[in-house]
Amino acid sequence: MGIKISEKFLNDLTTKLIKATDSGQKLGVTDPEEVGQYVCSVLALGCELIPVIGSSLSALTTLFGSLLFHPNATEKIWEKLRERVEALVKTKITETQLSILRKKIRGLQDNMENYTRVWEDYKDSSGDERMRARDTLKMTHIAFLSVVRAAIPEFRVESFAVPSLPLFALAANIHLMLLSDGIRHGIAWGYSEKNINTMRAEFKKKTSPQGVVGYAATMASEQNHLLKGAIATAIDLEMPTTIVATWEDAYSDLAVPASGYAGNGEGYDDLDYATYAYKVYYKGRGQVKPYHAELNDADNRGSTAAATLRAYADYDSGMVMNVLNYAEYWPYLAGDKMPESVLRKLDREIYFGPFGRHTTNAAWSEYSEAPVTDRGPPITSAYVRGWDDIDGLQIRYGNSWGHAYGSTTGGAPKQLDLAEDEYFYWVSVYYGQKLGKVRFWNNKDKALECGSGKHGSYYGCAAPPGYRLTSVHITKWESFTPPGCEGIILGFRPSIIEFTPN
């Protein structure tokens, strides 16, 4: 068994980010799920999982700027992430707390843009200007770190911890990447060894279950002293007044914890970021609201059960793409080697469906998420039989055909073989009493479509960005009139991972 990061896939994504950053442009990604694959690419670079390329990568945090803070990013990314979770669970963030979060996000955006500008000035400086540019970068880094530290508690307010979790994860990414920048480049930026050791201790506290014991007071004192110095020199460094105001707010906020901070009731206060992310994810799983079944269960048995599991699948897949994947990278952003067991978790399969009726072959339930399993051979062909509806389906994995679901004689057969560099990335279905129609799209714009949708008019699709189809299961086939398959489950794994079975 061999598992590693796909250098080609990662380079394709990071090249786009680097070009945007180097040219001062914004990438303009607006789909929250699409953001996830880019965030993971930056985190993978930070973990040194492939050779680092490009001058921009000496300050990895700046790559987040073109991704998370383009025009309307708050509405198109941060707000969408929150709204998707709110739609799935029984908790909504109040308008009062939303206004606080929006202010914090604006502060992060302003400081990210300022940090990127200062970094570019430092990178381009020379001669006598180099020392001043270095001092400006150091002070900006100090202050930006404090702004993020002050913002984090508002994303961990206990009453809204679940819908805030994807937003917390984005803020945590910025915090840990800033610490990583400081640890790796601090000496060149004018930090002392003591300063860097303090950042290293803070990083350890935020990324390790064991953390750092007995260092909190020392860290807070040093951070307070450094921020005070940055504010004092802000005028000489010609910092914009709006930026300095966020530094001053952070100085005040760090002295008084957020009133609803999650640690005050659930014992979250001392948890490292990854442990917190998983704990809140599981808490949210207990709050998932089942989808309403499109069909009456009395006449179409299995509709309610399928709709219920479909809601859990959407919650699980969203949290994996926008929270849990990030958490796997966090402990390795300061130079520790990532073990293969972590890559295996990053390769976990996410599911969509069941679209239709019944839940047979679902790897998850209302009570537990799908287990992490090893990836099998890639899908190399799809064979579907259908006429009015879908009569049968079979997938070839590598050189071997998988289970033949449904009828092997009913309906007209259709087949699409995949070349070595092809994969299915989008599947759409029409479902209802039966699985009425399926359409498989591959990355070369070839499609396999089967079925007329006679007994299935409800639409569903799965196309997680940065993922490829890795498994297909039918939940049930019925021979009674009208005959046909009655539900489908789709599994996807990330393209950023390369896996070679034994």
Per-residue model confidence as pLDDT tens digits over 417-456: 999 999 999 999 999 999 999 999 999 999 999 999 999 9
Task: Provide mean pLDDT across the span 307-320.
Answer: 98
**For all residues of the chain together, what is the average pLDDT?**
90
The predicted pLDDT at position 254 comes to: 86
For residue 490, what is the enclosing H or E element?
Answer: strand 487-494
How far, in Å, CA of 266 to CA of 280, rounded? 10
Q: With the CA atoms of 55, 59, 60 and 62 taken in that order, what torsion angle do they form, in degrees rounded to the nearest 10?
A: -100
Residues 6+ apart with CB under 8 A from 494: 37, 40, 325, 346, 347, 466, 467
Radius of gyration of the chain (CA): 25
The predicted pLDDT at position 54 comes to: 47
Superfamily grouping for domain 345-500: Jacalin-like lectin domain (2.100.10.30)
215 has a pLDDT exceeding 70:
no
Per CATH, is 2-280 categorized as 1.20.190.10?
yes
In the chain, where the domains are located: 2-280, 345-500
Task: Provide mean pLDDT across the span 480-493.
Answer: 96
How far, in Å, CA of 442 to CA of 154, rounded? 42
Structure-model confidence comparison of residues 216 and 386, the more confident one: 386
Could you give the 3-state DSSP secondary structure of residue 357? coil
Q: What is the pLDDT of residues 332-373, one digit of tens each?
A: 999 899 999 999 999 999 999 999 999 999 999 999 999 999
The predicted pLDDT at position 147 comes to: 97
Q: Crossing angle of helices 193-207/161-185, nearest 10°?
A: 150
Maximal C-alpha separation, the chain: 85
The predicted pLDDT at position 26 comes to: 66
